[in-house]
Chains A and B, each alone.
Chain A
Amino acid sequence: MFRISLFEFRIYREIMLVENIKAEFNLYKNQAEKSDFFLKREEAFAEFEKVGFPTTKNEEWKYTNLKNITNQSFQSTCESTIETELMLSHAFLKDLTANKLVFVNGSFRPELSTIIETDESIVISTLAKAKTAHSELFNKHFGKYAPIEGQGLNAMNTALLSDGAFIYVPNNKTITNPVIIVNIADSTDVNVLCQPRNLIIVEKSASLTLVETFYAVGNNPSFTNVVNEVYANENAHIEHYKIQNQEGESYHNNFTQIFQEANTNINHVTLTLSGTLVRNNLHFFMNGQNCNSLLYGLYMPHGTELVDNHTRVDHAFPNCHSDELYKGIMMDKSVAVFNGKIMVHLDAQKTNAYQRNQNILLSNEATVNTKPQLEIFADDVKCTHGATIGQLDEEPMFYLRSRGIPADVARKMLLNAFADDIAERIKIPELVELLEQEIEKKI
Chain B
Amino acid sequence: MLSIKNLKAEIEGKKILNGLNLEVKAGEVHAIMGPNGAGKSTLSAVLAGRADYEVTEGTVDFDGKDLLELSPEDRAREGVFLAFQYPIEIPGVSNANFLKTAINEKRKYQGLEPMEATDFLKMMREKMELVEMDKSLTSRSLNEGFSGGEKKRNEIFQMAMLEPKLGILDETDSGLDIDALRLVSEGVNKLRNKERSFIVITHYQRLLDYIVPDFVHVLYKGRIVKSGDASLAKELEEKGYDWIKQEVEANS
With a cutoff of 8 Å between Cβ atoms, the chain A residues found around residue B97 in the complex are 413
Q: How far apart are A147's CB and chain B's nearest CB, in angstroms?
A: 38
B73 in contact with A401 (CB, 8 Å): yes
Q: Which chain A residue shows the least CB distance to B50?
A: A398
The interface residues of chain A lying within 8 Å CB-to-CB of B73 are 401-402, 404-407, 410
Rounded to whole angstroms, the CA-CA distance of A400 and B88 in the bound complex is: 10
Q: B93: CB under 8 A from chain A?
A: yes
Task: Please determine whether A396 and B88 come into contact, CB atoms closer than 8 angstroms.
Answer: yes
Residue A403, interface by CB 8 Å: yes
B101 within 8 Å of A (CB atoms)? yes
Determine, out of A16-24, A56-64, A271-279, A414-422, the stretch whose residues face the partner at the interface.
Answer: A414-422
Verify if B37 is at the interface (C-beta below 8 Å from A). Answer: no
In angstroms, Cα B82 to Cα A420, docked, is: 28
Asked whether A39 is an interface residue with its Cβ less than 8 Å from the other chain, the reply is no
Q: Which residues of A contact B165 (CB under 8 A)?
A: none
Structural contact, A413 and B98, CB atoms closer than 8 A: yes
When distances are taken between beta carbons in the complex, the residues of chain B under 8 Å from A402 are 48-49, 72-73, 75-76, 82, 84
Q: Mark B63-107 against chain A: 1 for CB-CB distance below 8 A, else 0.
A: 000000001110111000110100110111100011001100110
The answer to whether residues A404 and B109 also contact, given A413-B101, A417-B90, A418-B92 and a CB cut-off of 8 A, is yes
CA distance A396 to B87 in the complex (A): 9
Q: Which residue of A lies closest to B91 (CB)?
A: A417
Interface check B162, CB cutoff 8 A: yes
Q: Which residue of A lies closest to B94 (CB)?
A: A417
Q: Which of B50, B51, B87, B105 contacts A404 (CB 8 A)?
A: B105
Does residue A119 face the partner (Cβ distance < 8 Å to B)? no
Contacts of B162 in A (CB 8 A): 403-404
CB-CB < 8 A to A398: which residues of B? 50-51, 72
Contact residues in B for A418 (Cβ distance below 8 Å): 92
A404 to B78, CA, bound (A): 9
Q: How far is it, in angstroms, between the C-alpha of A413 and the C-alpha of B141 when the chains are bound?
A: 12
**In the bound complex, do residue A399 and residue B90 qualify as a contact, i.e. CB atoms below 8 Å apart?**
yes
- In the assembled complex, the Cα of A420 lies from the Cα of B93 at a distance in Å of 9
* A395 contacts chain B at the CB level, 8 A cutoff: yes
Interface status of A137 (Cβ within 8 A of chain B) = no
Instruction: Report whether B105 and A405 are in contact in the complex, using a CB–CB cutoff of 8 Å.
Output: yes
* Residue numbers in B under 8 Å from A409 (CB-CB): 101, 105
Most buried by A among B48, B49, B82, B102: B102
CB-CB nearest in chain B for A416: B92
Q: B18 interface residue, CB < 8 Å from A? A: no
CB-CB under 8 A from A406, the residues of chain B are 71, 73, 105
CA distance A146 to B211 in the complex (A): 70
User: Does B101 lie within 8 Å of A405, measured CB to CB?
Assistant: yes
Q: B74: nearest residue on chain A (CB-CB)?
A: A404
Given contacts A398-B50, A398-B72, contact A403 B98 (CB under 8 A): yes
Residues of B within 8 A of A421 (CB): 92
Which residues of chain A from 376 to 409 have a CB within 8 Å of any chain B CB? 394-396, 398-407, 409
Interface: B158 (CB within 8 A): yes
A401 to B109 alpha-carbon distance, docked (Å): 14
The CA-CA distance from A396 to B89 in the complex, in Å, is 8
- The answer on a CB contact under 8 Å between B105 and A414 is no
Q: Which of A403, A404, A410, A414 counts the most B-chain CB atoms under 10 A from its CB?
A: A404
B72–A401 touching, CB < 8 Å: yes
- Known contacts A409-B105, A414-B93; A403/B88 CB under 8 A: no
Contacts of A416 in B (CB 8 A): 92-93
Q: Is there contact, CB below 8 Å, between A399 and B101?
A: no
A407 nearest CB neighbor, chain B only: B73
Contact A399 B87 (CB under 8 A): yes
Decide yes or no: A407 and B71 within 8 Å by CB, A395-B88, A399-B84, A417-B90 being known contacts: yes
Query: Given the interface contacts A404-B73, A404-B102, does A420 sit within 8 Å of B87 by beta carbon?
Result: no
Tell me which residues from 88 to 140 in chain B have a Cβ below 8 Å from any Cβ of chain A: 88, 90-93, 97-98, 101-102, 105-106, 109
Which of A403, A409, A410, A418 counts the most B-chain CB atoms under 10 A from its CB? A403
How many angstroms from the CA of A402 to the CA of B168 in the assembled complex?
A: 12
Say how far B11's CB is from chain A's closest CB, in angstroms: 14
| B105 CB contacts on chain A under 8 angstroms | 404-406, 409
Q: Find out whether the CB atom of A399 lies under 8 angstroms from the CB atom of B88.
A: yes
Residues of B within 8 Å of A395, CB to CB, are 88
A338 to chain B minimum Cβ distance, whole angstroms, is 21
Quote the shortest CB–CB distance from A432 to chain B (angstroms).
13
- Which residues of chain A (214-228) have a CB below 8 Å from chain B? none
Closest approach, in angstroms, between the C-beta of A164 and any C-beta of chain B?
Answer: 36
Residues of A with C-beta under 8 A to B72: 398, 401-402
Contacts of B98 in A (CB 8 A): 400, 403, 405, 413
A417 touches B88 (CB 8 A): no
Complex-state Cα separation, A405 to B105, whole angstroms: 6
Cα distance A400–B75 in the bound complex, in angstroms: 12
Give the docked Cα–Cα distance between A8 and B98 (Å).
61
11 intermolecular pairs with C-beta atoms under 8 Å apart = A399-B87, A400-B90, A402-B76, A402-B82, A403-B76, A403-B102, A404-B109, A405-B98, A413-B97, A417-B93, A418-B92
A-side interface residues toward B, CB under 8 Å?
A: 394-396, 398-407, 409-410, 413-414, 416-418, 420-421
Given contact pairs A400-B93, A403-B162, A413-B97, enumerate 8 new A-B contacts (beta carbons under 8 Å). Answer: A396-B90, A401-B72, A404-B76, A409-B101, A414-B93, A417-B92, A418-B92, A420-B92
Top 4 A-B pairs, shortest CB-CB distance: A417-B92, A404-B76, A420-B92, A401-B72
